[in-house]
Amino acid sequence: MKRKFAKKDLTDYREKLLNLKDDVLAQMKDISDITLMKSQKDISGDMSGYSIHMADMATDNYEREFNLGIVSDERKIILEIEDAVKRIEDKAYGDCHLCKKPIAKTRLSAIPYARYCRKCKEQIEKENKV
């Protein structure tokens, strides 16, 4: 079941997606700069000549891994956004990939890169938990 969007609606969704992409890229850059560009001593705030305590190193490594995980998740969102923009260009935007029914406009307003309607997404998540 193909949804018919007005041209202005598609333009608005495309703009929203591109703005979201810019925001996510900026967040990724900030996290990457903080995580990857600083030395262990800079991250810990230790300005003395003493070595860093093992527990501090473990905490710093945990934070670094956590931040890199966030960047990885955001990279996935960038791919989803780019795919949604392509769906707009291909006139395939707004239909659930699973049941082929239109995705609710409220869902698309909240998650403009959504591939699935709420019902199908919940089913997918339920199946992945098992």
| pLDDT, tens digit, 9 for 90 and up, residues 65-106 | 887 788 888 899 999 999 999 999 998 899 999 999 999 999
Residues 78, 61, 128, CA angle at the centre, nearest 5°?
45
Report, as an integer, the average pLDDT of 26-52. 64
When divided into structural domains, the chain yields a total of 1
Band of the pLDDT at 2, cuts 50, 70, 90?
low
Residue 2 lies in a domain: no
Q: Are 108 and 20 in contact (CB under 8 A)?
A: no
Residue 106 lies in a domain: no
Residue 124 lies in a domain: no
Band of the pLDDT at 113, cuts 50, 70, 90?
very high
Q: Are 124 and 116 in contact (CB under 8 A)?
A: yes
Residue 98 lies in a domain: no
Residue 122 lies in a domain: no
Residue 118 lies in a domain: no
Full residue range of the structural domain in which residue 72 is found: 7-92
- Could you tell me the pTM of the whole model? 0.72
